[in-house]
Amino acid sequence: MSKILPGETDLYALTDARLSRGRSLRQVVEALLDQDIRIIQYREKHLPSRVMFEECQLMRELTTKHKACFIVDDHVDLAIASHADGVHIGQDDLPIEAVRKLVGSNMLIGVSTHAPEQALAAQKAGADYIGVGPIFATKTKEDVCAPVGLSYLEWVVANITIPFVAIGGIKEHNIAQVTRSGAKCCALVSEFVGADNIGEKVQRVRTAMHQSV
């Protein structure tokens, strides 16, 4: 297992088949891993369970080969069945304590948060890391809340002690704002999987991110 946390690496990628320009999951994930993306979350919400399980098995194989961290979004059962390194849950999913009973002590649990009280609750309940966002407006997730902006990110930097990843509408052109506000790890979806050339896009995003520090 590769239990890599946000902050131990700079970029966190998420899958989305609908935005991947017809490329297969293997093509997308291999392109990301080839650019030293160390955390990849499987986030697919419109596929049959069997297909998602098969894709998670593939993700496990590819990430193991590259010693990268494999996270499954929402589906605790898929995370367990595919031997993922972690599971990421939202505010409306099972409580952290219940998820921990299911996955045990060796699997990472990440939690999406949108406000200080949610971040504090996740930290108290034993989350391994939190998602902070959406920083900017995003259309890659249905039923997403309004952007929380950089002010919430800055609050997390000052008040939360567990690792966190900034997420939501982060692109090459605005990632510098996010890192200047204190984020050491940023999650991107459409900017990566929807790029003409995923490898080149990762390189440009990483350059923009680190030039801003």
* Catalytic residue set: 43, 112, 141
Burial class (CB in 10 A: 0-12, 13-18, 19+), 49: exposed
Q: Which residues pair with 89 in a beta bridge?
A: 111
Q: What does the block give as tokens for 135?
A: 């920083």
Cα–Cα distance for residue pair 183/154, rounded to 1 Å: 8
What 3-state class would DSSP assign to 116? helix
DSSP state of 91: T
The Cα 68–Cα 3 span in angstroms is 8
CA distance 60 to 58: 5
**Long-range own/partner contacts, residues 47-55 (CB < 8 A, 24 or more apart):** 47/17, 49/78, 52/78, 53/78, 53/81, 53/82, 55/25
